[in-house]
Structure 1
Amino acid sequence: MRYLALFRGINVGGKNTVKMKELKELFSELGFTDVSSYIQSGNILFTTDKNISEFSKEVADAFTHRFGFSVPIMYRTKAEMLILRDRLPFTAEEIAEAERQDPKMVHLYVYFSTASMSQQEVSGIGERAVVKDRDIYYLTEQSIRLSKLTTKLNKLSDGLTARNWKTVLRLTALLEE
């Protein structure tokens, strides 16, 4: 089965630096095949016959041993990423309106969680989030760095990591190859 591993908080602001080449090597050493990475923010694609419960602790332990620190790791299957992509809760008009506010900013993100969260919608001035199972879709009119809502979102789960929508689409396409 084809999987995506999303590492939280590596290569951000000069902290928790991990070279993707070394991370890919780690996955290959653990017996995974077709290992590849996408950008420097900790996205690893791989294939295995094992299920997540069989390999997640092994990966976490090996990562900590090799790099000297631990981070949450979220896993998604190809099927889960296709569903995530196809159930985007925002209309093209809502996205276009957010983008008109500041065309230079990224406005659409997905937060990935290690655990299920209660279905809900949360909004603030110029920003909105929709929680669906282990994913949060987040749309903002401003920079995510100015968000008041992201603090609330981060309290919904201990292990969250965000990727912008362009990255989500690219990762999904890579899983389909």
Structure 2
Amino acid sequence: MSVFVALFSGINVGGNRIVKMAELRAFYTELGFADVATYIQSGNVVFRAEAAHAGALTDGIETAFEKRWGFRSRLMVRDLDWLEALVANNPYPEVAGDHTKLHASALEREPTAEEIARLAERCTGPESFAVKGDVLYLHAPDGLGKSKFAEVLPRTLKVPGTMRNWRTVLTLLDMAQKA
């Protein structure tokens, strides 16, 4: 069995679209996955599956999730190798120790050069970003909550994704490596 991480977008935010993590773990177990573990309330799931490809898992889990909870939540399923590469390829190692300043976004697909250029035009504050494959790294020196760039990032890039702070990324990696 292979280890995967599932990153939900938009659940348990601002008291909306509530999904209890115990229910989410039970849901994954009912779907036939093993060693299911969740981390914090934002919808991070580490699990084992016999499927060989993360893309095949994504569609099935998204469909079953919508049937169960009555709303659609975008989901990014990635394997352990992907998560290890995300951490290894961090272009901002000097700020990795401060989880409030470094974030990584799992993107639905690799952005085009044109999409990245459009985003770069909007990055005029203290923030900087780098895209490596289907991961966008964001260094926000003043924190994500104060970042004007973070506010325009999704609608400017127009590639769906879900962002996690660096502490969450490292915790998920540790959980996945131990699974």
Give TM-score scaled by structure 2 length.
0.86
Q: Quick one: distance in 1 between partners of 2:93 and 2:170?
A: 16
Q: Quick one: distance in 1 between partners of 2:89 and 2:173?
A: 13
Q: Quick one: distance in 1 between partners of 2:76 and 2:59?
A: 12
Unaligned runs of 5+ in 2: none
Q: Quick one: distance in 2 between partners of 1:13 and 1:151?
A: 16
Tell me the SS of whatever aligns to 1:169: helix
Give the corresponding residue for 1:6.
7
**Shift in Å at residue 148 of structure 1?**
2.2
Deviations 1:109-164 (A, max 9, x none): 11111111136583422110111111110011213122222244213244211100
1:20 matched to 2:21? The reply is yes
State the Cα RMSD in Å.
2.0
As a proportion of its length, which structure holds more helix?
A: 2
Give the corresponding residue for 1:134.
134
Contact 2:57 2:77 in 1 (8 A): no
1:170 matched to 2:171? The reply is yes
Give the corresponding residue for 1:68.
70
Unaligned runs of 5+ in 1: 100-104
1:148 maps to a residue whose letter is: K
**Shift in Å at residue 70 of structure 1?**
0.5
Tell me the SS of whatever aligns to 1:58: helix
2:40 maps to a residue whose letter is: I
Tell me the SS of whatever aligns to 2:157: coil
Taking only the aligned residue pairs, the percentage that are identical comes to: 32
**Shift in Å at residue 5 of structure 1?**
0.2
Q: Quick one: distance in 2 between partners of 1:52 and 1:81?
A: 12
1:8 maps to a residue whose letter is: S
